Amino acid sequence: MDPDFDEFLHVPARLSVVALLAPADWVEFGFVRDKVRTSDSALSKQVASLAEAGYIEVRKTRNRTGRQTHVRLTSHGRLAFQRHAAALQRIVAAAHEPQE
């Protein structure tokens, strides 16, 4: 197995969240939920796991309309995603190499 392949990140729900956050700064929880097409509770579970592992940071704020939750990748999470994506690309490239 490629040493950059990240078993923790490879869980489809986590990979979807991290891939969505990769090009962004702070992203509103509801936006992530809608783009990943999941429920609040399922996303909350993945966000908690990713935050506990140090891959994302969570910020909760209050304003006139209520509470808002925003998430973003940490530098550790960004690097882990880049390395994992590169590992996936190498795996796919190897599948297209001529077999001897």
As beta bridge partners, residue 61 has: 68
CATH of domain 12-95: 1.10.10.10
Q: What is the pLDDT of residue 99?
A: 73
Separation of alpha carbons 53 and 9, rounded Å: 10
pLDDT in tens, 3-27: 999 999 999 999 999 999 999 999 9
pLDDT in tens, 28-87: 999 999 999 999 999 999 999 999 999 999 999 998 888 999 999 999 999 999 999 999
Separation of alpha carbons 100 and 86, rounded Å: 24
Separation of alpha carbons 43 and 30, rounded Å: 10
How sure is the predictor about 100, in pLDDT bands with cuts at 50, 70 and 90? low
How sure is the predictor about 97, in pLDDT bands with cuts at 50, 70 and 90? confident
